[in-house]
Amino acid sequence: MKIEAKLARTMATLAKHGAVSEGTAAGMLAIIKEAGAKTVEAFEELVLAAYLVNGWHQSAGKPEAGSTLEPVPNTVRTYVWEIRAALRDGLKVHTFRTFYELRQARKALSPAAVTSTGKAASNGHDYPPEVAQDLLGVKVTNPETDTGALFHDMIRLFTGLPSEPRLLLGRQLARLMHTYQRKLAAPAKGKRASG
């Protein structure tokens, strides 16, 4: 079986099983190792070939009207993004067996975000190091209690969860964000936004 077909099959399984897909996603790491894809360019070439096998749109944005290609499922897009980011960070992605290992390695690349107490400082608040990167630039005015404000309370929930449920919630939030980003309409040229 061609390597892109293997990756395509793994991606299709990942898309089908969504939230319970961490084990399937690890198969992508094994295929990257098998293919010897050690650069962003090599990985991108492999991904585009796998997308083609699955009948998925290969470039950013929606497929053109009348196209038989389907959009890349959000779950797949999220894992592909994580691998691309790790490769851009200079990590040897082909050496990781799980996405947890990959994420931990990426987090270890930004030790400046971690204080001497082992917690990450963000606007004067201490957060666990594993959430520091996700909360850069975010200010929570009352981190000890819920306020009823949607995003404030979501951050409290996110930072308070154990590692595995937090990763799942993060992936689910990323999928929602991708879904709604596509629905966000750009202002028409020549028209001013009112407000």
| Dihedral of alpha carbons 161, 162, 165, 171, sign | positive
* pLDDT per residue as tens digits for the range 31-80: 999 999 999 899 999 999 999 999 887 766 666 777 777 878 877 888 88
Query: What's the number of CA atoms in the CB half-sphere (13 Å) around residue 144?
Result: 0
Domain edges within the chain: 3-108, 112-183
Strand partners, 56: 70
Q: How far apart are CA 51 and CA 188, in angstroms?
A: 31
Chain Cα centroid distance, residue 39: 18
Confidence at residue 45, expressed as pLDDT on a 0 to 100 scale: 92
Successive 10-residue mean pLDDT values, the chain, 195 residues? 84 70 82 92 92 82 72 81 87 90 82 42 57 70 72 83 82 82 60 49
Structure pTM? 0.52
